[in-house]
Amino acid sequence: MDRKKELKQLFKETKVEAGIYQIKNQQNQKVLIASTRNLKTLKGKQFELSMGTSTNKALQEEWNHYGKDAFVFEVLEVLKPKETGFFDTKRELQKLEEAWLEKVQPYGVRGYNKEKAD
């Protein structure tokens, strides 16, 4: 099997994991807490910031100011699906993200998240 086919097969077999991640500015300790259904997409978030196309304006401005080396991408928690019965990944991921937002409080001077209006 050629290398390209081998890599494609490996990609298909790799388990997709949902979870919570943070993007941390090591210069001022501000963080963005977010969730994704596929933790493999974190490279895509880094690419968005590098291209200047992030929808989070404050994060994008500081990325442009401090540079990519000032930021660290970290997985905080992987969502563990139930073994049996129905499992609503989207809802469970949302609950997990809310718990992390409550714990870290990444708002204002502490982070790049916007507080949700009730």
Answer yes or no: is 5 within a domain: no
Answer yes or no: is 52 within a domain: yes
Per-residue pLDDT tens digits for 5-44: 887 787 677 778 999 999 999 999 999 999 999 998 999 9
Answer yes or no: is 74 within a domain: yes
pLDDT given for residue 107 in this prediction: 97
Answer yes or no: is 49 within a domain: yes
pLDDT given for residue 1 in this prediction: 57
Specify the number of domains making up the chain.
Answer: 1
Query: Which letter does DSSP use for residue 53 in this model?
Result: -
Distance between CA 81 and CA 61 in Å, rounded?
36
What residue numbers bound the domain in which 96 lies?
17-80+87-108
Distance between CA 116 and CA 104 in Å, rounded?
15
* pTM of this structure: 0.83
Answer yes or no: is 115 within a domain: no
Answer yes or no: is 4 within a domain: no
Domain CATH number, residue 103: 3.40.1440.10
Does 67 or 118 have the greater pLDDT score?
Answer: 67
Answer yes or no: is 40 within a domain: yes
Q: What is the mean pLDDT of the chain?
A: 92
pLDDT given for residue 11 in this prediction: 67
pLDDT given for residue 2 in this prediction: 86
